[in-house]
Amino acid sequence: MKKKVYVLLADGFELIEALTPVDVLRRGGVEVITVSISDTNEVTSAQKVTVRSDITLSQHDITDGDMLVLPGGYPGYENLANSEEVVKLVKKYANNNRYICAICGGPTVLSKNEILKGRVLTCHHSVADEMKAYKYTGKIVEKDENLITGIGAGRALDFALELAKVLVDDETIKNIKKGMELDK
């Protein structure tokens, strides 16, 4: 059965933290759907690049996914954390033991809303102080059961490959890396 991943996009999202997982996972045959958390499909990144999401959160039920991705980027991660709909969705994924994946400032969505407290995670150093209810490591990528976190934009590819590892088989990972010239 094909895996389904939703990548949440809020104005001010970090471009490579959102789109690197989209690229890597789609290369692996995963169904990846970008979701604007506003009422329009147009979402502008922190770098002032406007992208068109596949769907909007207000018009679709996205509770059927295997994984939810929360990119960082300022003020994108704050916009995610302050969205009542996003918080409900993240809690639902957590309660149903589905993957929640957050990178850079994205883990603050968890801390600000007391989701998965006590778990091991990493995030950007600028928000590490907000992770007091968690076991912060500062590693490039952390996986703790259904929670996968990444440190920041410069490691978006490491983060994306870790997401792929839980969704596709080793041969598919090998092919993704070969196609991206990562295995030389």
Q: Is 124 a catalytic residue?
A: yes
Q: Is 101 a catalytic residue?
A: no
- Active-site pick, 60, 104, 123, 125: 104
- Active-site pick, 60, 101, 124, 125: 124
Cα 19–chain centre separation: 10
Residues contacting residue 48 through CB under 8 Å, at least 6 positions apart: none
Burial (Cβ within 10 Å: 0-12, 13-18, ≥19) of residue 169:
exposed
Residues contacting residue 76 through CB under 8 Å, at least 6 positions apart: 9, 10, 11, 12, 13, 14, 45, 46, 105
Helix then strand then coil, % of the chain, to nearest 5: 40, 20, 40
Other residues' Cβ atoms within 10 Å of the Cβ of residue 171: 8
Q: Which residues are catalytic?
A: 104, 124
